[in-house]
């Protein structure tokens, strides 16, 4: 186990303590480990979603539209 020391503003410290007092977490370390796990999961999900978008874009093939047509369509979709 590696030990890290961090500093947080008083309002954040009070929030952390309230989470521990409520029984949500046993101690400060559990609170931060949970935050890190959630961040890792969120990032992995974002990467997965981006990969799906890239795969879908590649599978759609090459457009026959000109660049000006693409720009015009994008403006229409944005309501401009």
Domain ranges across the chain: 10-78
What does the pLDDT read at residue 63? 87
Q: Which residues of 14-39 are buried (b: 16+ CB within 10 A; e: fewer)?
A: eebeeeeeeeebeeeeebeeeeeeee
Express each pLDDT in 8-66 by its tens digit: 999 999 999 999 999 999 999 999 999 999 999 999 999 999 999 999 999 999 989 99
In angstroms, the Cα distances linking 23 to 9, 20, 36, 66 are 22, 5, 19, 60
What does the pLDDT read at residue 23? 97
Phi, psi angle pair for 32, to nearest 5°: -70, -35
């Amino acid at each position: 186990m590696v030990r890290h020391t961090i500093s947080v503003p008083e309002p954040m410290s009070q929030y952390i303590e309230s989470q521990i007092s409520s029984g949500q977490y046993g101690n400060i370390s559990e609170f931060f480990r949970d935050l890190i796990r959630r961040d890792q999961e969120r990032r992995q999900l974002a990467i997965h979603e981006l990969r799906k978008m890239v795969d879908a874009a590649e599978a759609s093939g090459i457009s026959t539209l000109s660049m000006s047509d693409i720009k015009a369509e994008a403006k229409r979709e944005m309501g401009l």
